[in-house]
Amino acid sequence: MKNVPFKGIIAYPITPFDENDTINLPLFRNMVEKLVVTGSHGIASLGSAGVMPYLSDDEKEAVTEATIQQVNRRIPTLIGVSNLTTERTVHHAQFAEKAGADAVMIIPMSYWKLTDDEIVAHYDAVAKKISIPIMAYNNPATGGVDMSPVLLKRLLEIPNVTMIKESTGDIQRMHFLRKELGEDVTFYNGSNPLALAAFAAGARGWCTAAPNLIPELNLDLYKAIEKNQLAEAQNVFYKQVELLKFIVAKGLPRAVKAGLDILGEESGHLRKPLKPLTEKEFEEFRKILIGIKN
């Protein structure tokens, strides 16, 4: 298998702000620490949950360094370095490598829909400038570009593009990747409500912000899969599915913040234009989360 540092539960911290819209780095480091000590198998900052596109270049670099220092090689780290322009993507990928990241994650962000050739050239340009592996991330709901399984297969021909993160929620994409590329292809699931189906289809890991709130259940699902126990996996999945659907439907940064508030943990502020959940949404989530914890 190619250079693939991740498997299991890859946890995504949010990026918390203080009341002056400055990143609260000490709180961020606490959040990362909690994800490590509760057992996650990898840490991925500057993802969608981490509101990466809302950050300035300086802020992204500060979060990158904070992540890597805090994790301190206890588990592998993955850093989001996506940007609308190729030049900025290269810049952030190189920064992450120098800072000590084990891999970078890239989603082809679009304003103008990119052609397949533009996307391949974009990944290729970054890949040539770094030596750590790249996770190609497909999530049309946030990035605005939908990379077909055929395009993902093309990307995997670039030497250090070694991992696919599929977040469309379409299980057939994973079937295609596995069928086309054989058992060696390494794909990860990024759609929370698809966690059980994706593991059943052969996903090597689950990229998720849920461990900020319910790390034990997330890990238990993976353990059941590793033990080849379908009935147990089904059982533990149905315990968490409502929460998984809720946090996706409401947006991960808003929902994780609300969940931390419900659990009585420090959550920080959101960056505008993002606003907290409404009171009604908050109460709906409280019921779901308290129901799970009891």
**Active-site residue numbers?**
137, 165
Rule CB under 8 A: choose which of 39, 100, 144, 159 binds a second copy: 144
Integer CA distances (angstroms), 238 to 193, 194, 197, 242, in order: 10, 11, 12, 8
53 contacts a second copy (rule: CB under 8 A): yes
39 contacts a second copy (rule: CB under 8 A): no
287 contacts a second copy (rule: CB under 8 A): no
Number of residues counted as binding a second copy (CB under 8 A): 59
Cβ partners under 8 Å of residue 138, min gap 6: 107, 146, 147, 152, 164, 165, 166, 167, 168, 173
14 contacts a second copy (rule: CB under 8 A): no
Please, what is the minimum distance in Å from the beta carbon of residue 38 to a second copy? 25
Q: Are strands 187-189 and 134-138 parallel, antiparallel or unpaired?
A: unpaired
First to last CA, the chain: 41
Answer whether 44's CB lies under 8 Å from 165's CB. Answer: no
Integer CA distances (angstroms), 288 to 17, 25, 60, 190, 255, in order: 26, 29, 33, 21, 12
Answer whether 50's CB lies under 8 Å from 12's CB. Answer: yes
Please, what is the minimum distance in Å from the beta carbon of residue 193 to a second copy? 6
Rule CB under 8 A: choose which of 23, 32, 46, 51 binds a second copy: 51
94 contacts a second copy (rule: CB under 8 A): no
User: Among 82, 135, 145, which Cα is nearest to 113's?
Assistant: 145
164 contacts a second copy (rule: CB under 8 A): no
92 contacts a second copy (rule: CB under 8 A): no
Please, what is the minimum distance in Å from the beta carbon of residue 172 to a second copy? 6
Q: Are strands 77-80 and 205-208 parallel, antiparallel or unpaired?
A: unpaired
| Rg of the chain, C-alpha, whole Å | 18
Q: Which of these segments, 1-9, 22-30, 106-114, 153-161, binds a second copy (CB under 8 A)? A: 106-114
275 contacts a second copy (rule: CB under 8 A): yes
85 contacts a second copy (rule: CB under 8 A): yes
| Interface contacts to a second copy, rule CB under 8 A | 21, 48, 51, 53-54, 84-87, 108, 111-115, 117-119, 121-122, 125, 141-144, 169, 171-172, 175, 178-179, 193-194, 196-197, 200-202, 225, 228-231, 233-234, 238, 241-242, 245, 251-254, 271-275, 278
